[in-house]
Amino acid sequence: MKSFQMELSLFIESYEYIDLKKGRKINFQRDPSKIEEIIFEDNEIEEDVTKIPVYSEIAAGMPIYINDEIEGNFYLPSWLVKSSKDTFMLKINGDSMINANIHDSDLVVIKKQDAVYNGEIVAVDIDGYATIKRINIDGKYAILSPENNKYEPIVMPIDDVRIIGCAVGILKSKFY
């Protein structure tokens, strides 16, 4: 019986969601054949979920060309996502944000908004190229800071940077 349970668990995906606004971590699983159901550690199934579109990669490093094609959808508990129409996910490509616990292949949940606070992690558009960085506004300049000492900040006139949105969560795939 135990080997059957272990074999069955190989088909279950495990995730950790890090809520950047409330500072909490939520672990859950899902069966790839039932992606609209979230399974919590106590085997409680959450069926009140919100579909979040997943777009192609965003650079955590040098900005890359924006590809606005949806690659798929991911379902999260509705209580984690206030408004699905203003929320989307981007797959991280690179290592410039590792000190903020954002690693290559993580999915970052972005809330579309124009205004952000200094120190927030944001997705930005720089002439059709996108990157994710920590932002600080200093007068007429935007300072886009990496969270890895291997990289230098990007300093640009604020008018040359378009904020796509603010990072509100990180989704990490967990393998055991």
Beta bridge partners of 132: 123
Q: Which of 51, 96, 111, 173 is catalytic?
A: 96
The alpha carbon dihedral of 126, 99, 83, 46 has a sign of positive
d(CA 96, CA 129): 16
Q: Does residue 82 carry a catalytic annotation?
A: no
Q: Does residue 133 carry a catalytic annotation?
A: yes
Give the C-alpha distances (Å, rounded to integers) separating 159 from 69, 110, 124, 138: 26, 21, 12, 12
Q: Which of 133, 140, 150, 173 is catalytic?
A: 133
Q: Which residue has the tokens 């886009």?
A: 144
CB 100 within 8 A of CB 170: no
Helix segments in the chain, DSSP class H: 2-9
Q: Residues with catalytic annotation?
A: 96, 133
